[in-house]
């Protein structure tokens, strides 16, 4: 039976878990973004699945839409890539036309508009995080229906269900960069451990006044390195 | 054929920065028969002189109800007024449908102005050849607006336009301070007297050629035409000579 | 080279052999006949003021406002053909509304000026259109506070975002003037209409670029300048209309509003007094 994405099943209780088209690539995922003392950190696992098959084990789910505005993508890979592409175009135009870099909220507003207006056709859960000099670091979450939530930190994807308690217990305001990276890494490790659709490496992006810096942590050495690059 | 090089369309400025086509359109208003409007604190009134093409023809419509709370009086090309009154009726209805609220007079006048302006700046159209008085009442009280083919609109206390309207204007200016306190009756009388000032010597206000429109607080816009205008003519011009005769009508 | 009779001045989309667009120059003439309008960019806000000529005593006093609010933080006034001014205001409102629809936040004044400049320019180039017979002054305040996203759920985290650059200032007062050619500049003090020359020389005396003039002082200067500019057409009656917009900590809290009656009347009293003073000095 074909059902629109994100709709309840016939019984009105169970969410349709089998909403992807046959063969469609899913980001069964663990993603998160946090605020810390100097900006924001985005983190994600790297598993992409087609049903039970791992289509890509080193996926990059952290996508840049402007210099220091990035997003974490969960849901359909095709949908979220398309949405991020559109927003990247708009933000690029904004920067050129107004001679001023767009802010994180501008990006969040654009993401929300697209996700809300096309909610019936999209399977996209996104976390937007960015840094600008005026507002510092900011984290926005846009879950399935297209609502917009400004948060101190946000977690998303199928793996996030396993780490709500962990994050709540370990969250601290105003962490240092080192503490922040550790928090994200440990959270995602837990998510990967419990969620069958999450796995692979842990990728992170740190956004501060200094710009964007990528981190990579491999399972081979228990996610201890290689670190930033 | 043209008076100068700059008057063949509404898209050409003269070296003095004037747009002749728009000014000519204003002339069409001056050719129309006179209309008068006045507001008081409680009422807004329109009065108009109707013309007939010939003895046996009917008289043209000069006052049009647009919505329950307001109406217009026109001077100039009646067919252009018809287009605009249709537009206003549609806009007014849509306000009631969408917001369950009668449209504000300032708002409908603004929309009219924007519409008229476009035909003075965009190709393929001519300016409207009609002037309007828009009178009625909304949540902020009674209002009277003047509309010109150029798209100029102004809120007025009293106004007259059309042929020989200067005489009516002189009357209105002389009494302008009295209007605010006027009740319905007094206001209609003032409007009719102002209207009469603009008539040529050989003419009278009669049951056939006079239209009055009035609306007030808790009073819907009503059009007084034909027999219903007779009492007002009688009350306004009690002691005029031969008044009775001109008022007699076989209908 | 004279323009008249050459044929090069009849169409808006035609250049004369020496590279001029006469229709635009004629449109400027329409502006020069309009009532004076000015804008002053003060250190803590913007004032807009206009000389509204009373053409008939039948006009309703205090009605027929000429300075329009475009978005909550932006005001606009123009000199020249009234309906053209109104049309540009409605276009400006569309621009700010569509900006909000896309970006969920108020439009910066500079961006609005840019859009309007392009719009007005289009009317000097396309056949089937005529240039705008107005010069418009756009003044507003870009919020200095953190911007929320319209429609965002909740106020967000109570703890401030990390990593803000300290000591930097954002937002502030902005003032632009757009001419019939589509040309626009940012200004400290802008004047247009019949009395612009007198108004300009008064504005220059204020040393606005120093950024020392307060908004309240600006209101008084604006009133005085309109009165000075009106001197040449003294026989005509006029109404002074003034609006202002300040920062979030100022009197209008970032919104474009009419100057309160008491302050306007006080400013008018001072303006009249200043004019009388001038007359005495000349004697």
Whether residue C162 lies inside any domain: the answer is: yes
What are the structure tokens assigned to B77, written together?
């090309």
Q: Which of A35, A100, A106 sits opposite C162 (nearest CB)?
A: A35
Residue of C nearest to B15 (CA): C26
Q: Which of B13, B155, B172 sits opposite C63 (nearest CB)?
A: B155
Whether residue C31 lies inside any domain: the answer is: no
Q: Which of B13, B120, B176 sits opposite C83 (nearest CB)?
A: B120
- Domain of residue C137, residue span: 36-282
| B227 secondary structure, DSSP code | G
Subunit contact C156:A38, Cβ cutoff 8 A: no
Give the model confidence (pLDDT) of C106-143 as tens digits: 999 999 999 999 999 999 988 889 999 999 999 999 99
Whether residue C260 lies inside any domain: the answer is: yes
Query: Taking CB atoms and an 8 Å cutoff, what residues of chain B touch C5?
Result: 5
Q: What's the full length of chain C, in residues?
A: 283
Q: What is the pLDDT of residue C279?
A: 61
C128/chain B closest Cα distance in angstroms = 4
Q: Kindly indicate the confidence band of residue A207, based on its pLDDT and cuts at 50, 70 and 90.
A: very high
The answer to whether residues A127 and A154 touch, using CB atoms and an 8 Å cutoff, is yes
Q: Kindly indicate the confidence band of residue A1, based on its pLDDT and cuts at 50, 70 and 90.
A: very low
Subunit contact A173:C155, Cβ cutoff 8 A: no
Query: Hey, which residues of A are catalytic here?
Result: 29
Residue of C nearest to B110 (CA): C86
Helix (H, G, I), strand (E, B) or coil at B19: coil
The answer to whether residues B108 and B115 touch, using CB atoms and an 8 Å cutoff, is no
Q: Which of C103, C162, C167, C168 to mutate to test the interface with A (most CBs of A within 10 A)?
A: C162
Query: Taking CB atoms and an 8 Å cutoff, what residues of chain C touch B154?
Result: 59, 64
Q: What is the pLDDT of residue C283?
A: 46
Q: What's the full length of chain A, in residues?
A: 229
Q: Which of A106, A131, A150 sits opposite C103 (nearest CB)?
A: A106
Query: Taking CB atoms and an 8 Å cutoff, what residues of chain A touch C152?
Result: 105, 108, 140, 148-150
The answer to whether residues A124 and A24 touch, using CB atoms and an 8 Å cutoff, is no
What residues of chain A have any CB closer than 8 angstroms to a CB in chain C?
A: 35-40, 90, 94, 97-98, 100, 103, 105-106, 108-110, 112-113, 131, 133-138, 140, 147-152, 173-174, 208-209
Q: Around Cβ C7, how many Cβ atoms within 10 Å?
A: 11
User: Does C touch B (3+ CB pairs < 8 Å)?
Assistant: yes
DSSP string, chain A: ----TT-B-TTSSSB-TT-SPTT--EE---EEEEEETTEEEEEE---EEETTEEEESS---EEEEETTEEEEEEEEHHHHHHHHHHHHHHHHHHHHHHTSPPPHHHHHHHHHHHHHHTTTT--EEEEEEEEETTTEEEEEEE-TT---EEESEEEESGGGGGSHHHHHHH--TT--HHHHHHHHHHHHHHHHHH-TT--S-EEEEEEETTEEEEEEE-GGGTS--EEE-
Q: Around Cβ B162, how many Cβ atoms within 10 Å?
A: 25
d(C-alpha B137, C-alpha B142), whole Å: 4
Domain count, chain A: 1
What are the structure tokens assigned to A4, written together?
């629109």
What residues of chain B have any CB closer than 8 angstroms to a CB in chain C?
A: 5-6, 10-19, 110, 113-114, 116-118, 120-124, 144, 150-152, 154-159, 169, 172-173, 176
What are the structure tokens assigned to A160, written together?
């996030």
d(C-alpha B114, C-alpha B231), whole Å: 40
Q: Which of B7, B121, B177 to mutate to test the interface with C (most CBs of C within 10 A)?
A: B121
Partner chains of C (3+ C-beta pairs under 8 Å): A, B
In degrees and rounded to multiples of 5, residue A150 shows phi and psi of: -90, 130
d(C-alpha C239, C-alpha B48), whole Å: 31
Q: What is the residue-level pLDDT of chain B in tens, covering all 251 positions?
A: 577 778 878 888 999 999 999 999 999 999 999 999 999 999 999 999 999 888 888 899 999 999 999 999 999 999 999 999 999 999 999 999 999 999 999 999 999 999 999 999 988 788 999 999 999 999 999 999 999 999 999 999 999 999 999 999 999 999 999 999 999 999 999 999 999 999 988 889 999 999 999 999 989 999 999 999 999 999 999 765 544 444 444 54
Whether residue C13 lies inside any domain: the answer is: no
Q: Shortest CA distance to A40 belongs to which of A108, A100, A123? A: A108
- Residue C194: give its domain's CATH number: 3.60.20.10
Q: Around Cβ C168, how many Cβ atoms within 10 Å?
A: 8
Q: Which of C5, C22, C57 sits opposite B173 (nearest CB)?
A: C57
What is the ipTM for the molecules in this complex? 0.83
Helix (H, G, I), strand (E, B) or coil at B84: helix
- Residue A128: give its domain's CATH number: 3.60.20.10
C116/chain B closest Cα distance in angstroms = 16
Query: Taking CB atoms and an 8 Å cutoff, what residues of chain C touch A94?
Result: 103
Domain count, chain C: 1
Mean pLDDT of A112-120: 95
Q: Around Cβ A193, how many Cβ atoms within 10 Å?
A: 13
Whether residue C41 lies inside any domain: the answer is: yes
Q: Shortest CA distance to A65 belongs to which of A50, A82, A78? A: A82
DSSP string, chain C: ---TTSSTTS-TT---TTS--HHHHHHHHHHHTSPPEEEEEETTEEEEEEEEE---TTBPTT-S--SEEEETTEEEEEEE-HHHHHHHHHHHHHHHHHHHHHHSSPPPHHHHHHHHHHHHHHHHHSTTB---SEEEEEEEEE--SPPPPTT-BS---SSPPTTPPTT----EEEEEEE-TTS-EEE-SEEEESTTHHHHHHHHHHT-GGG----HHHHHHHHHHHHHHHHGGGTTS-EEEEEEEEE-TTSTTTT-EEEPPHHHHHHHHHHHHHHHHHHHHHH-
d(C-alpha A144, C-alpha A164), whole Å: 18
d(C-alpha B62, C-alpha B161), whole Å: 12
Query: Taking CB atoms and an 8 Å cutoff, what residues of chain C touch A177?
Result: none
Q: What is the pLDDT of residue B6?
A: 84
A103/chain C closest Cα distance in angstroms = 9
Residues 35-74 of C with CB under 8 A from B: 56-60, 63-64
Whether residue C51 lies inside any domain: the answer is: yes
The answer to whether residues B95 and B139 touch, using CB atoms and an 8 Å cutoff, is no
A105/chain C closest Cα distance in angstroms = 6
Subunit contact B155:C86, Cβ cutoff 8 A: no
Mean pLDDT of A189-208: 95
d(C-alpha B31, C-alpha C29), whole Å: 29
d(C-alpha A36, C-alpha A41), whole Å: 7
Query: Taking CB atoms and an 8 Å cutoff, what residues of chain C touch B151?
Result: 82-83, 86-87
The answer to whether residues B46 and B35 touch, using CB atoms and an 8 Å cutoff, is yes
Query: Taking CB atoms and an 8 Å cutoff, what residues of chain C touch B150?
Result: 81-83
Q: What is the pLDDT of residue C280?
A: 58
Residues 192-251 of C with CB under 8 A from A: none
Q: Which portions of chain C are predicted below pLDDT 70?
A: 1-2, 153-160, 278-283
d(C-alpha A158, C-alpha A194), whole Å: 10
Query: Taking CB atoms and an 8 Å cutoff, what residues of chain B touch C10?
Result: 5-6, 12
Q: Which of B19, B120, B173 sits opposite C58 (nearest CB)?
A: B173
Residue A141's contacts (CB-CB under 8 Å, 6 or more residues apart) are A126, A127, A128, A148, A149, A151, A154, A156
Measured between alpha carbons, how far is residue A155 from residues A73, A110, B69, C110, C228 in Å? 11, 20, 57, 37, 64
Residue with tokens 């598993």: A47
The answer to whether residues A188 and A47 touch, using CB atoms and an 8 Å cutoff, is no
Strand partners, C172: C142
Whether residue C23 lies inside any domain: the answer is: no
d(C-alpha C113, C-alpha C165), whole Å: 28
Q: Which of C149, C161, C168 sits opposite A108 (nearest CB)?
A: C149
Report yes or no: C169 at the A interface, CB cutoff 8 Å. no
In this prediction the pTM is 0.87
Query: Taking CB atoms and an 8 Å cutoff, what residues of chain B touch C32?
Result: 17
> Looking at the predicted structure, is the pLDDT value of residue A210 above 60?
yes
Work out the burial of residue C63: count CB atoms within 10 Å of its CB; fewer than 13 is exposed, 13-18 middle, 19 or more buried.
middle
Whether residue A100 lies inside any domain: the answer is: yes
Query: Taking CB atoms and an 8 Å cutoff, what residues of chain C touch B152?
Result: 82-83
Give the model confidence (pLDDT) of C64-80 as tens digits: 999 999 999 999 999 99
Cα atoms found within 13 Å of the Cα of residue A140, Cβ hemisphere only: 27
The answer to whether residues B163 and B198 touch, using CB atoms and an 8 Å cutoff, is yes
Give the model confidence (pLDDT) of A38-93 as tens digits: 999 999 999 998 878 888 999 999 999 999 999 999 999 999 999 999 999 999 99
What are the structure tokens assigned to B247, written together?
């008022």
Residue with tokens 């469609």: A24
Whether residue A7 lies inside any domain: the answer is: no
Residue of C nearest to A140 (CA): C156
d(C-alpha A35, C-alpha A208), whole Å: 10
Give the model confidence (pLDDT) of B65-98 as tens digits: 999 999 999 999 999 999 999 999 999 999 999 9
Measured between alpha carbons, how far is residue B247 from residues B56, B62, B207 in Å? 17, 20, 6
Helix (H, G, I), strand (E, B) or coil at B173: helix
In degrees and rounded to multiples of 5, residue B47 shows phi and psi of: -135, 140
CATH no., domain B29-236: 3.60.20.10
Q: Which of C103, C162, C164 sits opposite A174 (nearest CB)?
A: C162
Residue with tokens 């009756």: B185
Q: Around Cβ C137, how many Cβ atoms within 10 Å?
A: 27
**B226-233 own/partner pairs: CB under 8 Å, 24+ apart:** B226/B251, B227/B251, B232/B188, B232/B189, B232/B192, B233/B192, B233/B205, B233/B206, B233/B207
Subunit contact C11:B12, Cβ cutoff 8 A: yes
- Domain of residue A178, residue span: 41-217
What are the structure tokens assigned to B24, written together?
């000519």
Measured between alpha carbons, how far is residue B149 from residues A147, B76, B104 in Å? 48, 10, 21
Q: What is the pLDDT of residue B243?
A: 46
A97/chain C closest Cα distance in angstroms = 8
Whether residue C271 lies inside any domain: the answer is: yes
What are the structure tokens assigned to A11, written together?
């019984």
């Amino acid at each position: 039976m074909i059902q629109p994405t994100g709709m309840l099943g016939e019984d009105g209780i169970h969410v349709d878990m089998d909403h992807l088209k046959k063969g469609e690539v899913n980001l069964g995922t663990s993603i998160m973004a946090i605020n810390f003392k100097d900006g924001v950190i985005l983190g994600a696992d790297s598993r992409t699945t087609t049903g039970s098959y791992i289509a890509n084990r080193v996926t990059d789910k952290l996508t840049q839409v402007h210099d220091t505005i990035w997003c974490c993508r969960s849901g359909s890979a095709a949908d979220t890539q398309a949405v991020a592409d559109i927003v990247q175009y708009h933000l690029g135009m904004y920067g050129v036309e107004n001679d001023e870099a767009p802010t994180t909220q501008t990006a969040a507003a654009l993401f929300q508009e697209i996700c809300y207006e096309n909610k019936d056709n999209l399977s996209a859960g996104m976390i937007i995080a960015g840094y600008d000099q005026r507002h510092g670091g900011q984290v926005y979450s846009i879950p399935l229906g297209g609502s917009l939530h400004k948060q101190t930190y946000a977690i998303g994807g199928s793996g996030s269900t396993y780490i709500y308690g962990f994050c709540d217990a370990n969250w601290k305001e105003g962490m240092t960069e080192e503490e922040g990276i550790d928090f994200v890494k440990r959270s995602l490790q837990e998510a990967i451990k419990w969620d069958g659709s999450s796995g692979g490496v842990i990728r992170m992006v740190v956004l501060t006044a200094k710009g964007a810096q990528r981190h990579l942590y491999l399972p081979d050495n228990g996610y201890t390195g290689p670190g930033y690059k | 054929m043209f008076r100068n090089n700059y008057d063949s369309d509404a898209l050409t400025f003269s070296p003095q920065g004037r747009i002749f086509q728009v000014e000519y359109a204003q002339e069409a208003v001056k050719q129309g028969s006179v209309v008068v409007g006045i507001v008081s604190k409680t009422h807004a009134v329109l009065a108009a002189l109707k013309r007939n093409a010939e003895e046996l023809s009917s008289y043209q419509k000069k006052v049009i109800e647009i919505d329950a709370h307001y109406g217009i009086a026109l001077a100039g090309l009646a067919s252009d007024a018809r287009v605009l009154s249709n537009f206003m009726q549609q806009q007014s209805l849509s306000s009631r449908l969408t917001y369950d609220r009668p449209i504000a007079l300032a708002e409908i006048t603004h929309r009219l102005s924007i519409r008229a302006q476009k035909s003075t700046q965009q190709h393929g159209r001519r300016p409207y050849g009609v002037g309007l008085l828009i009178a009625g009442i909304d949540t902020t009280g009674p209002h009277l607006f003047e509309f010109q083919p150029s798209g100029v609109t102004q809120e007025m206390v009293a106004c007259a336009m059309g042929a020989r309207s200067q005489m009516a204007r002189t009357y209105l200016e002389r009494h302008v301070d009295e209007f605010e306190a006027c009740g319905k009756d007094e206001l209609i009388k003032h409007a009719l007297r102002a209207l009469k000032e603009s008539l040529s010597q050989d003419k009278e206000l009669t049951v056939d050629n006079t239209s009055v429109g009035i609306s007030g607080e808790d009073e819907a816009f009503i059009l007084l035409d034909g027999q219903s205008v007779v009492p007002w003519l009688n009350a306004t011009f009690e002691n005029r000579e031969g008044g009775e005769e001109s008022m007699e009508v076989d209908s | 080279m004279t323009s008249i009779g050459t044929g090069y001045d009849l169409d808006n989309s035609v250049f004369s052999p020496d590279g001029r667009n006469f229709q635009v120059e004629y449109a400027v003439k329409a502006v020069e006949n309009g009532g004076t309008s000015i804008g002053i960019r003060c250190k803590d806000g913007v004032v807009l003021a206009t000389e509204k000529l009373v053409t008939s005593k039948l006009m309703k006093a205090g009605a027929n406002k000429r300075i329009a609010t475009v978005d909550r933080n932006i005001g606009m006034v123009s000199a020249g053909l009234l309906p053209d001014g109104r049309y540009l205001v409605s276009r400006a409102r569309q621009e700010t509304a569509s900006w909000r629809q896309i970006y969920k936040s108020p439009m910066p004044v500079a961006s609005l000026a840019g859009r309007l400049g392009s719009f007005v320019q289009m009317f000097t180039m396309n056949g089937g259109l005529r240039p705008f017979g107005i010069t418009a002054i756009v003044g507003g305040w870009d919020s200095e506070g953190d911007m929320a996203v319209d429609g965002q759920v909740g106020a967000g985290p109570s703890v401030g975002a990390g990593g803000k650059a300290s000591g930097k200032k954002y937002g502030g007062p902005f003032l632009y003037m757009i001419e019939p050619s589509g040309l626009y500049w940012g200004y400290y003090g802008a004047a247009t209409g019949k009395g612009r020359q007198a108004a300009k020389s008064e504005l220059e005396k204020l040393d606005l670029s120093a950024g020392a003039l307060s908004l309240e002082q600006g209101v008084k200067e604006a009133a005085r300048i309109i009165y000075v500019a009106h001197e040449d057409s003294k026989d005509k009656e006029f109404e002074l209309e003034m609006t202002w917009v300040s920062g979030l900590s100022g009197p209008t809290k970032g919104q474009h509003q009419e100057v309160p009656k008491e302050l306007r009347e006080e400013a008018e009293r001072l303006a009249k007094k200043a004019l009388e003073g001038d007359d005495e000095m000349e004697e």
